[in-house]
Amino acid sequence: MDRQRLDKWLWHARVVKARTSAAALVASGHVRVNGVREIAPGHAVKPGDVLTIGLDRGVRVLKVIGFSERRGDAETARVLYDELQARQP
């Protein structure tokens, strides 16, 4: 697999608790892909893309490094990305 839907990737990476929440986060304009605001949950992400995600408690900047077929535990999710900016309280 060389690409994956943005909402599915956010859910597999455990950025959000549900895929519908991931789709809503994207549709509301809180996610940027390589610096460009993305509003389509079905937008394809690929390894090397940098996601800037505005969440309730701050901003996360993640670099996509892999994909998963299924949503796993936190340890499995952690290998899908590199955290480029630490979480803000």
Q: What is the pTM of this model?
A: 0.90
How would you write the pLDDT of the chain (89 residues) with one tens digit per residue? 899 999 999 999 999 999 999 999 999 999 999 999 999 999 999 999 999 999 888 899 999 999 999 999 999 999 999 999 755 55
| Residue type for position 30 | H
Extents of the domains making up the chain: 4-85
Nearest 5°: the CA angle 85, 81, 74 is: 100
Distance CA 12, CA 31 (A): 16
| Close Cβ partners of 3 (under 8 Å, ≥ 6 residues apart) | 44, 45, 46
Closest by CA position to 40, among listed 77, 81, 8, 2 = 8
CATH topology of domain 4-85: 3.10.290
